[in-house]
């Protein structure tokens, strides 16, 4: 009994028990890891800098964007459809492909579409340091300006993956960084009608729509299904009361 009484009278140590402190530390670590993962992998995360992923939700506007070109097989078809339907778009181009297809890059610019930087080699930037990131952006900047006579104003990271060095590098070149509101996995080539259905299902005010006129890892990649789906995508958007607008409306002032 004397032992029990003495134990009850002994003062408790300050703070949490060691097991609770370990749990608290582990939870804090998980929270930080989750936050960093959100910044790296979520294309519109503001953690590493401002990214535009949607336009005004109060206007019936949507925005067409195409990644990974120029592509000799698909980009001219996309341009023809956009011209026939008087629809604006943005093309985020891979610098290496611009050097391969400068005439197509020029056609995009002459048609009045936005030409943006999508890195030189479609590298996943979250795994790269500041020197490589600067090189990827600067080489593409030079390739686009040489081909089109215009300096790019916009940037989109491949897959949307970023780290703390990406947006500052883009900002130094005067770029506005874009994400997207939704993609439809047209790169998986599920069929033109399925691509069209997926876009129609997800239309909403301000949506920046991610499509692909090229394959970021293959200059000859097949994106013809996206081109085949495009007339229906445009028609569906307009039938639903949406106006197709250029992303230049959303550039930083």
CA distance 164 to 35: 13
36-40, 41-45, 132-136: lowest mean pLDDT where? 36-40
Confidence of residue 163 (pLDDT cuts 50, 70, 90): very high
% residues pLDDT > 70 (the chain): 84
Among 68, 118, 212, 213, the one annotated catalytic: 212
Is residue 185 over pLDDT 90? yes
Of the CA atoms within 13 Å of residue 184, those in its CB half-sphere come to: 30
Closest CA to 167 of 31, 37, 43, 32: 43
Contact 68, 216 (CB under 8 A): yes
What backbone phi and psi angles, to 5 degrees, belong to 41? -100, -20
Confidence of residue 4 (pLDDT cuts 50, 70, 90): very low
Q: What does the mean pLDDT of the chain come to?
A: 90
SS3 state at 70? coil
Q: What would the pLDDT profile of 70-101 be if each residue is shown by its tens digit? A: 999 999 999 999 999 999 999 999 999 999 99
SS3 state at 201? helix
Confidence of residue 1 (pLDDT cuts 50, 70, 90): very low
Among 67, 68, 186, 215, the one annotated catalytic: 67
Q: Considering Cα of 97, then 102, then 108, then 109, what sign does the dihedral take? A: positive
212 as an active site residue: the answer is yes
Is residue 8 over pLDDT 90? no
Confidence of residue 7 (pLDDT cuts 50, 70, 90): very low
Closest CA to 224 of 85, 109, 81, 63: 81
Contact 67, 212 (CB under 8 A): yes
- What pTM was estimated for this model as a whole? 0.86
């Amino acid at each position: 009994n004397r032992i029990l009484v003495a134990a009850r009278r002994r003062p408790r140590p300050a703070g949490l028990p060691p097991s609770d402190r370990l749990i608290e530390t582990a939870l804090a670590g998980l929270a930080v890891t989750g936050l960093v993962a959100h910044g790296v992998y979520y294309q519109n995360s503001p953690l590493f800098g401002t990214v535009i992923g949607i336009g005004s939700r109060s206007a019936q506007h949507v925005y067409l964007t195409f990644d990974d070109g120029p592509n000799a097989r698909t980009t001219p078809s996309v341009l023809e459809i956009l011209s026939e339907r008087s629809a604006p778009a943005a093309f985020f181009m891979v610098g290496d492909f611009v050097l391969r297809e400068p005439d197509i890059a020029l056609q995009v610019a002459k048609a009045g579409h936005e030409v943006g930087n999508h890195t030189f080699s479609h590298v996943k930037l979250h795994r790269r340091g500041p020197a490589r990131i600067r090189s990827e952006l600067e080489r593409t900047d030079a390739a686009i300006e040489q081909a089109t006579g215009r300096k790019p104003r916009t940037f989109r990271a491949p897959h949307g993956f970023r780290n703390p060095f990406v947006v500052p590098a883009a900002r130094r070149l005067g770029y506005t960084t874009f994400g997207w509101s939704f993609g439809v996995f047209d790169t998986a080539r599920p069929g033109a009608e399925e691509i069209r259905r997926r876009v129609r299902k997800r239309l909403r005010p301000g949506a920046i729509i991610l499509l692909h006129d090229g394959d970021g890892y293959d200059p000859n990649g097949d994106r013809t299904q996206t081109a085949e789906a495009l007339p229906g995508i445009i028609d569906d958007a307009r039938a639903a009361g949406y106006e197709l607008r250029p992303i230049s409306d959303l550039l930083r002032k």
